[in-house]
Amino acid sequence: MKYAILGDIHANLCALEGVLAAIDAEGADRIVSVGDVVGYGAAPKEAIDLLREHGVIVVKGNHDAACVGEIDPAYFNPYARAAVDWTRAVLERVDLAWLAALPLTVELEHCQVSHGTLAHPERFDYIQTVEDAVPSLDELTRLVCFVGHTHVPVSIVRLVEDPTRAAYTLEPEVDLGEVQAAVVNVGSVGQPRDEDRRAAYAVFEASEARVSLRRVEYDIEREAARIRRAGLPDMLAERLFLGV
Ligand code: ZN
C-alpha cells in the first residue's frame, strides 16, 4: 500500500495542483492530508474542491477550526487573523460544513494522522523537539503518525534496539525498518517555513516501511498575485518566495 501525505495547504492552489500532479504521475493507493486546508492563502474553495475530487482523507487543522469558530483566532498573529476573517467571509456554507466535519485524527491500516500531536490533537500543540514527540510516540497504535502544523519536515523515531530513546532526522529518505514508532512531519504544501520555497509532501510505502519527503516547484508569482488581488496582507504573498 502506497500512501501520499500532504498538508498545511493553506489555500495555495498552484502549490496544491503541483503536488497533486506529482502524486497522480507517481500513483498512490491513498492520499491523506494532515490538515490546515485553509487560512493565509486566497483559494480556500478551490483547495477544498480539489481535495474532495481526489478523495483525500483529511484531518482538521487549527486554521480550519478557527474558520468554523471552534477556536478563538485571538491567539493567531494579525496576518493569520485577517486571513481567517477573509476565509470565513468567502466560503459558502457547504464548505464551512465540510471543514467543521473533519476529524481531529484518523487511524488507517498502516499509519495514523493528526495535525499537531497524536497525544492531544484538540490542543493543536507543536512538535518542535524530540521531547515534544514523546507523548505521541507513546500513543501510537501504528508504526508511524504523520503530522504537520510547524510547516517544517522532520522525522522523529524510536528505534527497536533502544525504545527508551528517540532521535530526529532531517534526511528526506527515512527507513522505518528498524523503527518501533515514528512521528513524521511532512512539511507544508502552501507555506513552507524551512527556507525551501518548494511545496512539500511525503510518500509512504507501507510494504517497505519507507518514507520519502518530497518537494515540487510551483508558480509562486501566480499564487502571490492571487493573494494580493484578494486584498490579503502583502506579507502573506511575500513569504511564499522566501519559504518562511
Ligand atoms: Zn498550518
Give the pTM: 0.97
Nearest alpha-carbon partner for 102 in 64, 75, 132: 64
C-alpha cell at 13: 492552489
Q: How far is the CA of 62 from the centre of ligand 1 (A)?
A: 7
- Angle in degrees, CA 201, 163, 152, rounded to 5: 25
- Please state, in angstroms and as integers, the Cα–Cα distance from residue 146 to each residue in 35, 97, 137, 183, following that order: 11, 24, 11, 6
Q: How far is the CA of 167 from the centre of ligand 1 (A)?
A: 24
Q: How far is the CA of 191 from the centre of ligand 1 (A)?
A: 8
* Ion ligand 1, residue ranges at CB < 5 A: 8, 36
Q: How far is the CA of 139 from the centre of ligand 1 (A)?
A: 22
Q: How far is the CA of 56 from the centre of ligand 1 (A)?
A: 17
Nearest alpha-carbon partner for 3 in 25, 33, 47: 33
Side-chain-side CA neighbours of residue 193 (13 Å): 12
Q: How far is the CA of 164 from the centre of ligand 1 (A)?
A: 31
**Strands (DSSP E) found in 23-150:** 30-33, 57-58, 105-107, 111-114, 144-147
Q: Which residues contact 48 (CB under 8 A, 6 or more apart)?
A: 37, 38, 91, 95, 98, 99
Q: How far is the CA of 39 from the centre of ligand 1 (A)?
A: 8
pLDDT 10s digit of each residue in the chain, 244 long? 999 999 999 999 999 999 999 999 999 999 999 999 999 999 999 999 999 999 999 999 999 999 999 999 888 999 999 999 999 999 999 999 999 999 999 999 999 999 999 999 999 999 999 999 999 999 999 999 999 999 999 999 999 999 999 999 999 999 999 999 999 999 999 999 999 999 999 999 999 999 999 999 999 999 999 999 999 999 999 999 999 9
